[in-house]
Structure formats: C-alpha cells, structure tokens
Amino acid sequence: MLGFIHFGNQLDLSLAELGNFIDFDRKCLYDNFLLFNNSKFYDLPYDSMGGVRAAYRIVAKSESEFLSYLSRFDKADDKKHVLLDSNFMKPHHLRKMCVGFNNIKFKYAFKATDYRPVRFQNKKDVFVYILKFKSQVYFLEAFFIANAKKYAIRDYKKPYRDAKLGMLPPKLSQMMLNIATNTNAIYDPFCGTGSLLMEAVLSGTKNVYGSDYKQENIEGTDKNLFFMQRKFGLNFQSNVFMQDVTKKFNDVPNFNALISEGYLGKPLHGNEPDNFLKAQMHTVFELYLDFFRNLSLAAKSDFELVMCYPIFPKIAADSDASFFNLLGKISEYGYELEPISRQFKIKTALYQRNNQFVHRLIFKLGFKKV
Ligand SMILES: C[S@@+](CC[C@H](N)C(=O)[O-])C[C@H]1O[C@@H](n2cnc3c(N)ncnc32)[C@H](O)[C@@H]1O
C-alpha cells in the first residue's frame, strides 16, 4: 500500500516522532515527503502527531488517470470542493488541467503550510497534491490533513493564557510527547499555562502532574485542564502544585516521563544588547543546574526526560553556559543524553521559527538513580 507522509518544517523532530510509532527507511525521504509501503501507515494517530502536515494515498500515476479520478466528483450530486496543490506545478498549469469539470469547485495552490480556508475544511472537501518525487509524478489524495482550526481552539480559546510565557506551540508539545517512550504518567515542572499537559491528556495520557513557582500558573493550568476535560470529554487525573525548582523538592510525583519546555529566560523584543543576552544564558544555565540536582535528589525511580534548552541566535555560544557544558555537569547526578532518534542517529534538534529571538534545542535524557 504505497502512500506519502508530508512533514512540517521541523524535519528532524518529525522523523524522530514518526520513528517512535513505526519503522521506515530514511532513503524513502525526499524533501519533506516520505514514501511508505505499509498499510499500517493508514492507522497512525496523526491527530496527535505535531510533525505530520498531511498523509496521502495515491489515486493516479498519469494525467489521464487523474482526470478520470476527477470525473467521479464531477458526476456527484453535491458540488465537491477540490483543493489542488503541487510541489512543481504552477497555479495556472493546475487550472488548465482542470477545465471542463463544471460541477467541481477548485481552489488552486492552497499551499500546504496554510490549510486555513475554513470554507474548505469540512468533510466534503478533497485535498489533492500533485507531487514530483525523485523525477516520478504522483497524484495524491489526503486521508489526513492537520486541522488548523482544532489546533487554534486549544491554543487561543483556552481560558488561561499568558503571552509573556512565550506560548509553547501545540505541535511542538505533541512532538516532544511522542519522542518519549512511555507517557502513561507525565510531569511538567515548569508548567506555565499547562500547554504541554493539555496536549498530553488529548493524546490519551491518564495521569498528568504539573508544577510552577507562580500561584497564578497553578490555578491557570488547573482551569485549562478542566477546559480540556469538558471541551473534549476526556478522562484523566491531574495534580498541579507549587514548586520552585531551585529549592529542595517537597515531593515528586510518580511519573514515567518528565516533559517540559522549561525556562527560556525573560521574554525578548529583539533589541537587547549582547551582554543582556549573555547574562540570560548564565541565569538559565544556573537555574537548570539547580533544577537537575534538586530533582535527582528527590526522584523516586529512573525516568526519561524531554526538554528544551534556549539558544540565543544573536550571540555566539558561550561555552561556560552551553548545553554541552550543562550535560557534563549533570552527568554526575545520573543524567545521560539519549538521542531523540536512535534509528536515525539524531541526537538533538533545533526548533526555530523566523520571528523568534530565542530558539529551542530539544533534547532527551535518561535518568538513573545513583
Ligand atoms: C517558558 S515558560 C513555560 C511555558 C509553558 N510551556 C506554557 O506553554 O505555558 C517557563 C515557566 O517556568 C516557570 N519558572 C521559571 N522559573 C521557575 C522556577 N525557579 N521554578 C519553577 N518554575 C519556574 C515560569 O513561571 C514559567 O511558567
């Protein structure tokens, strides 16, 4: 059963995520498309996979086959909406190919990054992608497409929001969760507004724990989790409590994986002088060092951890406060770097967006009690 996965922009993270669900060969990758040949790809939990933009089945391998595929929709009683995009055909070429189908409403070159036209996001819509993949052309129909509207509900409609916290994108939360191997019970010790815990419960985690050193974030996270319970009819247990990670931990919940965005420094506007950014790097470094030590002292058993470390692209890495220096220091507490994907030999991945002044280095650690 041939088909294609269309990844988003964070390729390394997306590969690590998918590799945790199913085996595939990296040789079948071309740009952001993966060719698969296994019917199990049709049953993956795509809605909770942040790295997959769309998944397609092949409907035709030549233009004439494709036109006869389209003619089925032309004969249907209800007017179909067909969205057409391609990685090599221009909109006017697409338009020319589809003249003569009077009972289909076409929209051309909708750009895979932006499936926003809500009008086109209902069950009647058909998403078609004409793909040139290693010099062969495939005509594809999506059986999964990332639903921007659904993401927006939990990102913008949650009752407690705080733009100053930087807002962890739901897709990144999903990828971080999927990089961990066991997410039955997870803990976020920098929970903020609870974005990560919200994604965890949506993907089926039954026990979530969160802490923060600000009372308003504890109450806010509780509110947001309650919102998820009601909005999506979910069933889970949660416990959100106060904990300053630079202080001795009062108690640590029983969790399988610690997954957290962590502290990324003060919110930035982009005009900060270098010495301010350097000071931020050192503050974050010291905070993480305290956090890892305090956690190791209080942890009841071994666990795995997926977190972000801030990278300030405007300034050169300061080796004293670098992530690798941190790794060296925390190894004596029992932490060891694990690749985010062993299969594809991806150690860590950088999550970056053009308009951001701080990037996130995504890493995974194993903790063994010493
Ligand atoms: C980047 S935010 C995390 C945001 C969260 N992922 C979200 O989407 O809302 C970092 C969080 O770390 C918390 N924090 C900073 N220093 C802390 C400390 N010493 N102990 C515990 N939490 C701390 C902040 O209050 C903030 O909520």
Task: Name the pLDDT band for 83 (thresholds 50, 70, 90).
Answer: confident
Residue 86 Cβ < 6 Å to ligand 1 = no
Residue 137 sits in the same domain as residue 169:
no
Residue 195 Cβ < 6 Å to ligand 1 = yes
Burial of residue 150 (CB within 10 Å: 0-12, 13-18, 19+) is middle
Strands (E), the chain: 2-7, 29-30, 33-37, 52-60, 80-86, 104-108, 125-133, 136-145, 185-188, 207-212, 237-242, 257-260, 303-311, 335-338, 349-351, 359-367
Pocket test for ligand 1, best of 173, 209, 213, 284 (most atoms within 8 A of CB): 213
Rounded distance from Cα 263 to ligand 1 centre (Å): 5
Last residue of a domain, one of 112, 146, 180: 146
Rounded distance from Cα 136 to ligand 1 centre (Å): 48
* Mean pLDDT of the region 189-215: 97
- pTM, two decimal places: 0.94
Residue 123 Cα to chain centre, angstroms: 25
Q: In the chain, pLDDT over 70 holds for what percent of residues? A: 95
- The atom of ligand 1 lying closest to the CA of 166 is 1
Pocket test for ligand 1, best of 151, 165, 247, 291 (most atoms within 8 A of CB): 165
Statement: residue 115 has pLDDT above 60: no
Residue 263 Cβ < 6 Å to ligand 1 = yes
Residue 47 sits in the same domain as residue 71:
yes
C-alpha 167/C-alpha 187 separation (Å) is 18
Q: What are phi and psi of 43, to 5 degrees?
A: -115, 20
What sign results for the dihedral spanned by CA atoms 52, 53, 55, 56? negative
The DSSP bridge pattern shows strands 335-338 and 185-188 to be: unpaired
Residue 324 sits in the same domain as residue 346:
yes
- The atom of ligand 1 lying closest to the CA of 260 is 6
The protein residue whose alpha carbon is closest to atom 22 in ligand 1 is 212
Q: Tell me which residue of 18, 45, 48 sits closest to 34, measured CA to CA.
A: 18
Residue 121 tokens read as 């996001």
Rounded distance from Cα 257 to ligand 1 centre (Å): 18
Statement: residue 359 has pLDDT above 90: yes
Domain that holds residue 29: 2-146
Last residue of a domain, one of 129, 146, 163: 146
Check residue 117 and give its pLDDT.
39
CATH code, domain with 227: 3.40.50.150
The number of folded domains in the chain is 2
- 23-58 pLDDT, tens digit each: 999 999 999 999 999 999 999 999 999 999 999 999
Residue 33 Cβ < 6 Å to ligand 1 = no
Residue 214 Cβ < 6 Å to ligand 1 = yes
- The atom of ligand 1 lying closest to the CA of 191 is 5
Long-range contacts of 67-75 (CB under 8 A, 24+ apart): 67/97, 69/139, 70/98, 70/101, 70/104, 71/101, 73/101, 73/103, 73/104, 73/126, 74/101, 74/102, 74/103, 74/104, 75/103
Residue 273 sits in the same domain as residue 363:
yes
Residue 234 sits in the same domain as residue 310:
yes
Statement: residue 318 has pLDDT above 80: no
Check residue 123 and give its pLDDT.
65
CATH code, domain with 73: 3.30.2130
Residue 85 Cβ < 6 Å to ligand 1 = no
C-alpha 298/C-alpha 358 separation (Å) is 31
Rounded distance from Cα 189 to ligand 1 centre (Å): 8
Residue 198 sits in the same domain as residue 233:
yes
Residue 244 sits in the same domain as residue 360:
yes
Residue 123 sits in the same domain as residue 197:
no
Q: Which amino acid is at 236?
A: F
Residue 216 sits in the same domain as residue 354:
yes
- 131-187 pLDDT, tens digit each: 999 999 999 999 998 887 788 888 888 899 887 766 788 999 999 999 999 999 999
Pocket test for ligand 1, best of 223, 263, 266 (most atoms within 8 A of CB): 263
Rounded distance from Cα 312 to ligand 1 centre (Å): 18
Residue 190 Cβ < 6 Å to ligand 1 = yes
Last residue of a domain, one of 127, 146, 165: 146
Statement: residue 113 has pLDDT above 80: no
Burial of residue 220 (CB within 10 Å: 0-12, 13-18, 19+) is buried
Rounded distance from Cα 340 to ligand 1 centre (Å): 23
Residue 142 sits in the same domain as residue 156:
no
Q: Tell me which residue of 287, 214, 206, 303 sits closest to 252, measured CA to CA.
A: 303
Please spell the DSSP secondary structure of 222-251, one letter per residue: HHHHHHHHHHHT---EEEEEE--TTS--S-
Query: 142-151, 263-272, 333-342: which range is least confident on average?
Result: 142-151
Residue 297 sits in the same domain as residue 338:
yes
Q: Tell me which residue of 31, 13, 23 sits closest to 346, measured CA to CA.
A: 13
Residue 289 Cβ < 6 Å to ligand 1 = no
Check residue 110 and give its pLDDT.
59
Long-range contacts of 154-161 (CB under 8 A, 24+ apart): 154/198, 154/199, 154/202, 154/228, 155/195, 158/193, 158/198, 158/224, 158/227, 159/220, 159/223, 159/224, 159/227, 160/193, 160/194, 160/219, 160/220, 160/221, 160/223, 160/224, 161/193
285's CB contacts (< 8 A; 6+ apart) are: 320, 321, 325, 326
Residue 85 sits in the same domain as residue 130:
yes
Task: Report the chain's C-alpha Rg in angstroms.
Answer: 23
